Amino acid sequence: MMKKAITIAPSVLSADFVNMEQGIRLIEKAECKWIHLDLMDGQFVPLITFGTQMVKSIRGITDLVLDVHLMINSPENQLDFLAEAGADYVTVHVENTVHTHRILSRIKELGMKAGIAVVPSTPVSALSELLGMVDLVLVMTVNPGFGGQKLIASCVNKIKQLYDIREREGYSFLISADGGFNRETASSVRDAGIDVAVCGSSFFGADDPSAEVVVLQGK
């Protein structure tokens, strides 16, 4: 497998919510290209974080790629607002959407990139009808809901499976890993073939987030 640079996408879930701009500036200072935004609704997952208004406010202060991860029920209700807010990637979960194909089509119709996410208990095979139409596949390497959890090693195999399917079928989606990505786990996740690594606590919990990004990229 060819080694290539990965994109680090810090998640503001671990930032200080009353100093959000400070968090964004830290991400920019570390020369990351993406910001990961976790929308949670207290239904699909227990926590409630923030909604599309926050996405809009963040868009107002940065040009970085906004990678929105919807851990909410009825994600279809938010798509127009997200487009208006200036989201770049919008990722929905396969587990709580029946008309997933329609939702992904709508995301693209609105001019955004469409992503599909799987929780640890969902196999890659659940995505077989969707892989040809998505721009990103987000493999959750923890159970969604909270930052700072330990990576579930068995999920890393799904990254390899997706990498192989993409090669075989000539698909073009990016592979993203979300959860428990830190200096101890980074090399195994990178070696499995990711393009994007989401990191919340390992970025915002670092003494020097910029230096941490260099370590996480494995350069």
Binding residue for Zn ion (CB under 5 A) from 69, 93, 113, 166?
Answer: 69
Cβ distance 19 to 206 under 8 Å? Answer: no
Length of the chain: 219
Residues 129-168 that bind ligand DX5 (CB under 6 A): 142, 144-149
Is 38 labeled as catalytic in the residue annotation?
yes
Query: Binders of ligand DX5: how many residues, by CB under 6 A?
Result: 22
Asked if 41 interacts with ligand DX5 (CB under 6 A), we say no
Asked if 174 interacts with ligand DX5 (CB under 6 A), we say no
Asked if 92 interacts with ligand DX5 (CB under 6 A), we say no
Asked if 178 interacts with Zn ion (CB under 5 A), we say yes
Is 63 labeled as catalytic in the residue annotation?
no
Asked if 14 interacts with ligand DX5 (CB under 6 A), we say yes
* Region of 35-43, 128-136, 158-166, 188-196 interacting with Zn ion (CB under 5 A): 35-43
Asked if 113 interacts with Zn ion (CB under 5 A), we say no
**145 vs 156: CA distance, rounded Å:** 19
Show which residues are catalytic.
38, 178
